[in-house]
């Protein structure tokens, strides 16, 4: 099964994908994690990707797609995958359809998360992530703080703020890029009949855990 998570930064894609992964066995594949891994290891693709990420720009397809394909062809996703952060444009969506078709697969479900803009910005600025690459648990200093300040509840590693989460100007630029280049994917997948849109907002008291729980029930029923 192939699931795609859509939604602007800060809507909770990673949280929802992580919960679904935990309960279904589908592997969560985050392009952000792939980028950070390659940047940390100073691979050629990582070095090139960092030039764009540091400026808040979208990483070009010639860098992103090879990274994703490498993981799609690996053993870790043979039983299914949840794509978090890819595709981010119509061109990438079309390439993904072709890549999956060549492997006898297809996109089965697209989950589109929406959240008010001001709430998104506040969430990103107060977001902290476990520095342990095997854990990567996400916290929010206001809504979901760790028990011990600065320390991950699950593994005891230090919590960090990603560099691109600390600058409001950079956050707004990323959101503008999403509006211009990724939002059109909503219509693309709606026409295919595989889109599911969910609002995640503290204002309606519906957060990621509730959304993930409903999706898991539907997946299990199917």
Cis peptide upstream of residue 172 (ω within 30 degrees of 0): no
Domain covering 2-221 in this structure, CATH number: 3.40.50.300
Cα–Cα distance, 87 to 68 (Å, whole number): 10
The residue from 88, 95, 128, 136 that is catalytic is 88
Q: What is the number of alpha carbons within 13 Å of residue 115 lying toward its C-beta?
A: 26
Q: Report whether 9 contacts 120 (CB < 8 A).
A: yes
Annotated catalytic residue within 78, 103, 117, 162: 162
* Domain spans, the chain: 2-221
pLDDT for residue 125: 94
Selected residue with higher pLDDT from 107 and 168? 107
Q: Is the pLDDT of residue 17 over 80?
A: yes
Mean pLDDT score, 90-113: 94
Q: Is the pLDDT of residue 219 over 90?
A: no
Q: Is the pLDDT of residue 146 over 80?
A: yes
The yes-or-no answer on residue 203 being catalytic is no
Average pLDDT over residues 119-131: 94
Instruction: Give the pLDDT confidence score for residue 78 in this predicted structure.
Output: 86
User: Cα–Cα distance between 125 and 140 in angstroms, integer?
Assistant: 9
Cα 211 to Cα 200: distance, rounded to the nearest angstrom? 8
- Separation CA 165–CA 146 (nearest Å): 18
pLDDT band at 7; cut points 50, 70, 90? very high
User: Is it the case that residue 57 has pLDDT exceeding 80?
Assistant: no
Residue with tokens 């999403």, as numbered in its chain = 178
Q: Residue 162 catalytic? A: yes
36 in active site: no
Q: Is residue 127 flagged as an active site residue?
A: yes
Whether 190 is catalytic: no
User: Among 73-77, 111-115, 194-198, 209-213, where is mean pLDDT lowest?
Assistant: 73-77
- Residue 168 backbone dihedrals phi, psi, to 5 degrees: -65, -35
For the chain, give the mean pLDDT.
90
pLDDT digits (tens, 9 = 90+) for 147-175: 999 999 999 999 999 888 888 888 898 89
* pTM of the predicted model over 0.85: no
């Amino acid at each position: 099964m192939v699931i795609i998570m859509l939604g602007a930064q800060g809507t909770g894609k990673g949280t929802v994908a992580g919960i679904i992964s935990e309960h279904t066995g589908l592997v969560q594949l985050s392009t952000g994690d792939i980028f950070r891994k390659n940047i940390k290891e100073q691979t050629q693709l990582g070095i090139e990707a960092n030039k764009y990420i540091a400026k808040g720009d979208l990483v070009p397809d010639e860098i992103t797609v090879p990274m994703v394909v490498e993981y799609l062809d690996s053993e870790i996703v043979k039983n299914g995958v949840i794509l978090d952060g890819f595709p981010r444009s119509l061109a990438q969506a079309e390439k993904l359809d072709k890549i999956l078709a060549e492997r006898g697969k297809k996109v089965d479900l697209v989950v589109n998360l929406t959240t008010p803009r001001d709430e998104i910005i506040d969430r990103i600025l107060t977001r902290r992530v476990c520095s342990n690459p095997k854990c990567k648990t996400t916290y929010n200093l206001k809504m979901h703080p760790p028990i011990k300040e600065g320390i991950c509840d699950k593994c005891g590693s230090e919590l960090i703020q990603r560099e691109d989460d600390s600058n409001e100007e950079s956050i707004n630029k990323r959101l503008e890029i999403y509006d211009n280049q990724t939002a059109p994917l909503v219509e693309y997948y709606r026409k295919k009949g595989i889109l599911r849109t969910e609002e995640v907002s503290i204002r309606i008291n519906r957060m990621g855990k509730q959304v993930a729980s409903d999706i898991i029930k539907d997946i299990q029923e199917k």
